[in-house]
Amino acid sequence: MNLDIITSHYVKNYTVVPTPSFVKWDLSNSNPLGMPFMLQYHQSGENLKKVLSKLNFEQRMGLTKEVAKLILRLQSQKSTSCSILSSYTYAEESIMIFQKELLNRHVMGAEHEIDLSEARKQTTLQFIIDLCEHMKGQERHDSPDQHWIWDGFTSLAADMHSRGMIPDVDYFYFTHLALHPAHILVDRVDDKSVEIKCVFGWEHGLFAPQYMSCCPPTWL
C-alpha cells in the first residue's frame, strides 16, 4: 500500500498520466478502522476489463494509440539505477522530493520479499547479474540440482553485453509492470475513440531496464 501511495504521487507530480488522488491514508493499525487504509477520490470511467471485449475495431485501434502514449509518457522519467520510489519529503509546501531505493532483486509472488538497499548508479548488465545471483541462491535452497541454470543466464547476459546488445550507458525507464485492463478506467467517447481516464496499481511502478519498459501489454 505504501508503494502504491508514493508512486501515485510521483506519477501525478512528474507526468501527465491520469492517476487517482487520495483523500486520506493511514498505514498504521492505530486508527478507527484498526488496520491500514487509503481513501481515494471517485474516478469517472468504466473498468477496461469489463468493456474490452465490447470495443469495436476502431475503438481498439484508438485504445492502442492511447496506451502507447501512456507508456511513452512514463518513459520520460528515467534513473541511473533499477529502483523503486521508497519515500518522499516536502522541500516546500507544494514541492515533493522523492527518494529511490535500489531494487537488486525482484521475485514474482507476493509471499516473497523485495530486497532493498541504498540507491546507487547501476548498469543494466550489473542488474541482470545481481538478479541471476539472487535467483541462483534461491534455487540452491528450493531446487539444489537446478541452480546452475542461472550461471548460463549470467554468461548469456555477458555475451549480449560484449556484442553491444546491453549498453553500459543506458538509463532505467519508469514503467508500470502490471498495466492490465483491470488497472485502467476508460471513457468510450464515440464509436471510433477511447480515452484513458485513470490508471491504478502503482505499487507495480518502478525504474526498469529499457527492454522491460518498451514491452507492450499482451492484451492489446
Please state the rounded mean pLDDT for residues 172-199: 94
Whose cell is 512514463? That residue is 74
* Percent of the residues in the chain that have a pLDDT greater than 70, as a whole number: 89
Between the two ends of the chain, the Cα-to-Cα distance in Å is: 28
Q: Mind listing the pLDDT tens digit for each residue in 48-64?
A: 999 999 999 999 999 99
Residue 51 within a domain: yes
What pLDDT does 106 receive? 42
Please state the rounded mean pLDDT for residues 170-182: 91
Rounded to the nearest 5°, which phi and psi values hold at 103?
-100, 95
Cell reading at 8: 501515485
Question: Does pLDDT of 91 surpass 90?
Answer: no
pLDDT band, residue 111 (cuts 50/70/90)? very low
**Residue 206 Cα distances to 54, 174, 197, angstroms:** 31, 5, 21
Cell reading at 211: 527492454
Other C-beta atoms closer than 10 Å to the C-beta of 111 total 5
What pLDDT does 213 receive? 72
What pLDDT does 117 receive? 45
- Which is more confident, 220 or 72? 72
What pLDDT does 107 receive? 41
Q: Which has the minimum average pLDDT: 7-21, 70-84, 102-116?
A: 102-116
d(CA 118, CA 97): 16
Cell reading at 218: 499482451
Cβ contact 166:125 at 8 Å: yes
- Which is more confident, 191 or 103? 191
Range among 30-34, 116-120, 189-193 with highest mean pLDDT value: 189-193
Query: Within 13 Å of residue 90, how many CA atoms lie on the same side as its CB?
Result: 3
Sheet strand arrangement including 205-209: 78-79, 172-176, 205-209, 83-92, 95-103, 116-118
Domain count, the chain: 1
What pLDDT does 215 receive? 67
Residue 148 within a domain: no
Concatenated DSSP letters for 109-126? STTSPPPEEE-----HHH
Other C-beta atoms closer than 10 Å to the C-beta of 202 total 24
Residue 81 within a domain: yes
Residue 78: what residue type? K
d(CA 70, CA 146): 39
Mean pLDDT of the chain: 84
What is the domain extent for residue 77?
Answer: 2-123+170-213
Residue 156 within a domain: no
